[in-house]
């Protein structure tokens, strides 16, 4: 049983059939019907004008940031944001972007913390903040769903100062299911939004960046520059379209299973918003090894924690068995 990440999910038989039956064309020429349909559907779900299919969530994020921040300008992000910790300095490497971070508790957004570190129109002797990135749910915060009022406060601050706001919504589907808030409401007020199809939704590959028609047209050019222009992507897009129809509502099962695991690991289930559990253990490396010997795979994160992520390939029965195994390791 693999609880390291929700990226380990495999296509279901029905998803594979949808992929096999996909009508395809050349997406670089804009002629792949499944990909065009996926981009329209995701843009519509999120209340934006247009969408762009990308091979990875990291590319979708980097395209969004590249649109808003010129070389030498500044991006603001949470200190543990994916764009800071897990994209290998791509914003600096590819776009010459300086990144400043704000601290948080469990990745939870506090607008005052953002405003405190922002430097809009900084002048000749400092770097001007031109974009803010918010992550919802927050991966390294433990799947935290961002508070809507704080998101709105950051957006209002950004509008006042002419700062763009990008949403890393890789797991926005989980935030939607956990909060009951419509996807288009969660995505409203952002200049660009990235969402992932290959985590909880179970597609094998792909993310979508949405925004205005102008932003998406520019992102399409940058995607080609970054080597992300693919050809017959309809096979992959068909998997994403199937996932949108069949795998969103079931994310609630993953959230329930995560709370079962949390209880077994002496983690307060009330702190588990979605499908990610962070547990503190004395020796994470030894814990990971012992769990693997018992056919339960978890991930070490840092010197004191392990991470468990529930997903499409973990049933309630499997989660209960994993909980027993992991609880025994703590004794």
Cα distance between residue 43 and residue 22, in whole Å: 20
Mean residue pLDDT of the chain comes to 97
CATH no., domain 251-330? 3.90.1150.10
The sign one gets for the Cα dihedral 159, 163, 169, 175 is negative
pLDDT value at position 96? Answer: 97
pLDDT higher than threshold 90 for residue 124: no
Contacts for 108 with CB less than 8 Å, ≥ 6 apart: 138, 141, 144, 146, 147, 150
Mean pLDDT calculated for residue range 288-305? 97
Do the strands 129-135 and 98-102 form a parallel or antiparallel pair, or are they unpaired? unpaired
> pLDDT tens digits for 179-199?
999 999 999 999 999 999 999
Cα distance between residue 76 and residue 131, in whole Å: 6
Reduce the DSSP state of residue 126 to 3 states and report it. coil
Q: In the CATH hierarchy, which fold is given to the domain comprising 11-246?
A: 3.40.640
Whether the CB-CB separation of 308 and 261 falls below 8 Å is answered with: yes
Reduce the DSSP state of residue 249 to 3 states and report it. coil
Whether the CB-CB separation of 8 and 312 falls below 8 Å is answered with: no
pLDDT value at position 233? Answer: 98
CB atoms within 10 A of CB 10: 10
Helical ranges in 73-147 per DSSP H = 82-85, 90-95, 111-117
Cα distance between residue 150 and residue 107, in whole Å: 12
Q: Are the folds of 11-246 and 251-330 the same?
A: no
Mean pLDDT calculated for residue range 17-43? 98
> pLDDT tens digits for 74-103?
999 999 999 999 999 999 999 999 999 999
Phi-psi region of 175 (alpha: psi -120 to 50; beta: other; left: phi over 0): alpha
* CA distances in angstroms from 275 to 42, 99, 184, listed in the order given: 22, 28, 21
pLDDT value at position 142? Answer: 96
**What totals of helices (H) and strands (E) does the chain contain, helices first?**
14, 10
- CA 191: distance to chain centroid? 16
Q: Residue 274's closest CA among 108, 34, 123, 119? A: 108
> pLDDT tens digits for 139-176?
999 999 999 999 999 999 999 999 999 999 999 999 99
Percent of the chain with pLDDT over 70: 100
Return the bridge partners of 74, or none: 98, 129
Cα distance between residue 118 and residue 160, in whole Å: 12
Sequence spans of domains, the chain: 11-246, 251-330
Whether the CB-CB separation of 93 and 59 falls below 8 Å is answered with: no
Strands (DSSP E) contained in the chain are 50-54, 74-78, 98-102, 129-135, 164-169, 192-196, 207-211, 276-280, 299-301, 305-309
- CA 30: distance to chain centroid? 26
For 93, list phi and psi in degrees, rounded to 5.
-65, -50
Return the bridge partners of 54, or none: 207
Q: Which class for 105: exposed (0-12), middle (13-18), buried (19 or more C-beta within 10 A)? A: exposed
Indicate the Cα dihedral angle 211, 229, 173, 107, nearest 10°: -80
């Amino acid at each position: 049983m693999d609880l390291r990440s929700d990226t380990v999910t495999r296509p279901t038989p029905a998803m594979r059939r949808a992929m096999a039956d996909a009508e395809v064309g050349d997406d670089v020429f804009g002629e792949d019907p499944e990909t065009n349909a996926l981009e329209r559907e995701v843009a519509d779900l999120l209340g934006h004008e247009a969408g762009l299919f990308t091979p990875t969530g990291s590319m979708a994020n980097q395209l969004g940031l590249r649109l808003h921040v010129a070389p030498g300008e500044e991006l603001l992000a949470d200190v543990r944001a994916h764009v800071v910790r897990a994209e290998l300095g791509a914003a600096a490497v590819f776009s010459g972007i300086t990144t400043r971070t704000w601290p948080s508790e469990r990745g939870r957004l506090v607008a005052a913390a953002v405003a405190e570190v922002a430097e809009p129109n900084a002048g000749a002797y400092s770097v001007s903040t031109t974009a803010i990135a918010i992550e919802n749910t927050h991966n390294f915060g433990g799947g935290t769903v961002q508070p809507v009022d704080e998101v709105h406060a950051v957006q209002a601050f950004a509008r006042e100062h002419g700062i763009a706001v990008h949403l890393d919504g890789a797991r926005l589907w989980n935030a939607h299911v956990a909060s009951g808030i419509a996807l288009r409401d969660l995505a409203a007020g952002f200049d660009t939004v990235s969402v992932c199809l290959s985590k909880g939704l179970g597609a094998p590959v792909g993310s979508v960046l949405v925004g205005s028609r102008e932003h998406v047209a520019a992102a399409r050019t940058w995607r080609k520059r970054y080597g992300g222009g693919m050809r017959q992507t309809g096979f992959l897009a068909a998997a994403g379209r199937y996932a949108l129809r069949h795998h969103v509502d079931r994310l609630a099962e993953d959230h329930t299973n995560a709370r079962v695991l949390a209880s077994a690991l002496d983690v307060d289930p009330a702190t588990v918003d979605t499908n990610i559990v962070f547990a503190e253990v004395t020796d994470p490396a030894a814990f990971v090894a012992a769990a693997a010997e018992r056919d339960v795979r978890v991930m070490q994160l840092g010197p004191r924690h392990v991470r468990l992520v529930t997903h499409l390939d973990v049933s309630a029965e499997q989660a209960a068995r994993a909980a027993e195994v992991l609880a025994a390791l703590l004794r």
